[in-house]
């Protein structure tokens, strides 16, 4: 029996879980219905363009969270080192509370990757750019700051994969802690 969905936001949260567990390609409409308990009529009511619309809504929700919790503190920090620290801790908390999955990374896999390419590119580019700017504001040369930011985001993404493979949250926490220290190592 289909469950009662109060609003689109409820549906988006349920869909995020399906995409985290199954990826975009593995989430057929019948799987989505089964895993969320949301009927086909409700899904098309909230997402008239089907699965693409569902994925877009999920990515928009994740992006909004990252914009507020991770990116905003880096945009104009009074304390760049504190902003780097806080945003890395927020990212760690987010990924651990969502089963060690980055939905943007999940959307880079599979045959339908091009459909989400711009959203994925923008998310990662913004994360690297904002992190690099904050690190540069602590005294790092621009090139070094950018390299540290790229390495940091790549390390976090790799930690998510390894933590899932080993079923160990400590992998994410350890990598984020070391990345945070390396971002600010030797800076003001």
- What does the pLDDT look like over 23-37, one tens digit per residue? 888 889 999 999 999
Helix/strand/coil (H, E, C) string of 31-83? Answer: HHHHHHCCCHHHHHHHCCCCHHHHHHHHHHHHHHHHHHHHHHHHHCCCCHHHH
DSSP single-letter state for residue 135: H
Q: What one-character DSSP code corresponds to residue 3?
A: P
pLDDT in tens, 145-185: 999 999 999 999 999 999 989 999 999 999 999 999 999 88
Q: Does the predicted TM-score (pTM) go above 0.75?
A: yes
């Amino acid at each position: 029996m289909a469950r009662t969905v109060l609003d689109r936001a409820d549906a988006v949260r349920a869909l995020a879980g399906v995409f985290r567990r199954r990826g975009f390609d593995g989430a057929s409409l019948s799987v989505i219905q089964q895993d969320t308990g949301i009927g086909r009529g409700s899904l098309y009511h909230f997402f008239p363009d089907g699965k693409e619309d569902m994925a877009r809504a999920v990515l928009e929700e994740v992006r909004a969270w990252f914009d507020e919790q991770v990116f905003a503190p880096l945009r104009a920090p009074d304390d760049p080192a504190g902003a780097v620290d806080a945003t890395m801790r927020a990212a760690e908390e987010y990924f651990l509370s969502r089963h060690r999955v980055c939905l943007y990374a999940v959307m880079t896999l599979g045959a339908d990757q091009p459909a989400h390419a711009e959203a994925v590119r923008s998310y990662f580019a913004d994360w690297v750019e904002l992190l690099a700017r904050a690190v540069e504001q602590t005294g790092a040369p621009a090139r070094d700051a950018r390299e540290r930011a790229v390495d940091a985001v790549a390390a976090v993404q790799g930690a998510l994969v390894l933590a899932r493979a080993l079923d160990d949250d400590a992998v994410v926490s350890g990598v984020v802690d070391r990345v945070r220290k390396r971002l600010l190592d030797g800076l003001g």
